[in-house]
């Protein structure tokens, strides 16, 4: 059936889509495609439980789009690709690059060893708008500050590639030898998130495109203001789809540009595009500083006197700190696998600065629980809040969770939803129930320390302690 036609392996990684998928596009143009996913159970960085849930459904969605021709394997990708190519006498392997340090090194190695064996191996740049190797300062060094990175580096470089449609003709290789089922990967085994997440998220390429369309139609206008209000559906919620490549960043970029050319105020579209720019910046940092997930970018922080208090850390994870906006955020995360960006900053600041707990522990918890858990974005943002990162918020800028709640969720629509114990608290005391007179607490049916925790730390005292620790550096 396939005689005379080139057969190419397309190694699927974080590009679970048919449209604007360069590796798939080129392989389909050349002939028959053998789409392969390899679950690397030997990788040193394990996926969090929520990411495993998303991955399971991403695989199901792509398998169905490929008329059930996606071949699934476990093991070392290099060995598997080599084995498949040899077995089926395949001379072409295509894949899209990844910019995570471990994978980047692996990709180069795989390309070299396949080529040494006479197999053409083509790697395409498709996860980011701009290749991080190419966005450098006039001195050829990496940018460390966001604004010049985005304005001078990105926006003055060549315009990003225009997205391409899905292959007009896609013929997949008829082979299921040794491929295992998606279920056999066991991604949902003992995964307690399944029930919760299935009612909230629809995973897949179509869902990503629908989400983009709906955001452009209803959310892009007003984004600049609304993106800070956690009770609104004011952001795109595309982060997980971008992470898993159910939508490409080029598709998002050009869709927003198109909308902007029509009727969207430029302040909203440019604000949204600059957030996409932050994603590029985080990847650029990870690309140039591969230790970003583990090591303080600013080495001065290596001497920071972190304290570890199991009780505090557990209260934070469970959303039982007694600080309402922090608890709302942590419970949103536990219930939905997502947390609004404004609240991510507040809970991270509280963990690091009020509880004095090392940012790496918070980063790991987010890694476990977020649908969009992403090595570059997660690491760079935690370091940004900690003050240890590139172009970070200064350490002494400590978010006040009372003022933040009052400013960004003034009537508590978001907070009351996730902290129903405080549903009847008047706005005035919602973010500081410990200040409420006894009769107000009674009317609101709140008994601190009984049906809602008293604050685990005093905000002013812990803030001053953090500042003193910072000064000691």
Q: Which residues are annotated as a binding site for FAD?
A: 223, 235-239, 272, 372-374
The whole-angstrom distance between residue 10's C-alpha and the CA centroid of its chain comes to: 24
Nearer to ligand FAD, 279 or 317 (CB): 279
Q: Where does this chain bind ligand FAD (CB under 6 A)? A: 227, 235-239, 242-243, 275-276, 278-279, 282, 341, 344-345, 348, 366, 370, 372-374, 377-378, 381-382, 385
Q: What minimum distance in Å lies between the beta carbon of 342 and ligand FAD? A: 8
Residues in binding site: 223, 235-239, 272, 372-374
253 is catalytic: no
Q: What minimum distance in Å lies between the beta carbon of 329 and ligand FAD? A: 10
Q: One of 122, 288, 298, 306 is an active-site residue; which one? A: 306
Q: One of 298, 309, 341, 400 is an active-site residue; which one? A: 341
Q: One of 130, 193, 382, 384 is an active-site residue; which one? A: 382
Q: What minimum distance in Å lies between the beta carbon of 464 and ligand FAD? A: 23
Nearer to ligand FAD, 96 or 235 (CB): 235
Q: One of 11, 359, 365, 367 is an active-site residue; which one? A: 359
306 is catalytic: yes
Q: One of 191, 275, 298, 309 is an active-site residue; which one? A: 275
384 is catalytic: no
Q: What minimum distance in Å lies between the beta carbon of 72 and ligand FAD? A: 25
Q: What minimum distance in Å lies between the beta carbon of 380 and ligand FAD? A: 7
Nearer to ligand FAD, 122 or 364 (CB): 364
421 is catalytic: no
434 is catalytic: no
Nearer to ligand FAD, 327 or 372 (CB): 372
Nearer to ligand FAD, 34 or 369 (CB): 369
Catalytic residue list? 275, 278, 306, 341, 359, 382
């Amino acid at each position: 059936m396939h005689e005379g036609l080139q057969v190419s392996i397309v190694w699927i990684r974080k590009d679970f889509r048919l449209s604007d998928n360069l590796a798939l596009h080129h392989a389909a143009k050349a002939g028959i495609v053998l789409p392969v996913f390899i679950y690397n159970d030997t990788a040193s960085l394990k996926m969090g439980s929520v990411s495993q849930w998303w991955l399971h459904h991403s695989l199901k969605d792509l398998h169905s789009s490929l008329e059930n021709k996606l071949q699934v394997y476990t093991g070392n990708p290099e060995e598997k690709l080599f084995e498949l190519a040899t077995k089926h006498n395949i001379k072409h392997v295509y894949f899209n690059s990844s910019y995570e340090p471990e994978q980047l090194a692996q990709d180069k190695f795989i390309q070299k060893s396949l080529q040494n064996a006479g197999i053409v191996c083509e790697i395409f740049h498709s996860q980011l708008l701009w290749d991080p190797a190419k966005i450098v300062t006039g001195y050829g060094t990496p940018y460390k500050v966001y604004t010049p990175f985005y304005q001078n580096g990105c926006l003055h470089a060549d315009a990003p590639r225009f997205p391409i449609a899905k292959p007009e003709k896609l013929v997949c290789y008829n082979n299921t030898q040794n491929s295992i089922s998606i279920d056999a990967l066991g991604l949902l085994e003992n995964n307690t998130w399944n029930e919760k997440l299935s009612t909230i998220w629809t995973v897949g390429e179509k869902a990503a495109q629908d989400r983009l369309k709906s955001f452009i139609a209803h959310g892009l206008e007003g984004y600049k203001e609304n993106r800070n209000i956690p009770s609104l559906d004011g952001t795109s919620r595309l982060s997980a789809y971008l992470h898993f490549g159910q939508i490409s960043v080029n598709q998002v970029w050009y869709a927003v540009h198109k909308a902007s050319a029509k009727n969207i105020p430029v302040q909203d579209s440019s604000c949204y595009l600059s957030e996409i720019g932050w994603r590029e910046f985080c990847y650029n940092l990870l690309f140039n500083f591969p230790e970003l997930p583990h090591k303080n970018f600013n080495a001065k922080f290596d001497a920071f006197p972190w304290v570890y208090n199991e009780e505090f850390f557990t209260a934070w994870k469970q959303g039982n700190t007694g600080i309402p906006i922090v608890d709302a955020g942590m419970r949103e995360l536990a219930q939905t696998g997502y947390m609004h960006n404004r609240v991510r900053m507040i809970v991270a600041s509280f963990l690091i600065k009020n509880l004095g707990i090392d940012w790496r522990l918070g980063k790991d918890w987010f890694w476990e629980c977020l649908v969009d858990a992403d090595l570059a974005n997660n690491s760079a943002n935690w370091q940004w809040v900690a003050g240890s990162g590139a172009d970070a918020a200064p350490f002494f800028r400590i978010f006040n969770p009372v003022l933040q709640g009052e400013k960004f969720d003034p009537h508590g629509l978001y907070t009351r939803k996730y902290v129903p114990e405080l549903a009847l608290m008047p706005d005035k005391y919602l973010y500081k129930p410990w200040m409420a007179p006894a009769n107000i607490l009674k009317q609101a049916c709140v008994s601190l320390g009984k049906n809602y925790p008293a604050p685990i730390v005093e905000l002013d005292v812990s803030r001053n302690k953090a500042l003193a620790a910072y000064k000691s550096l």
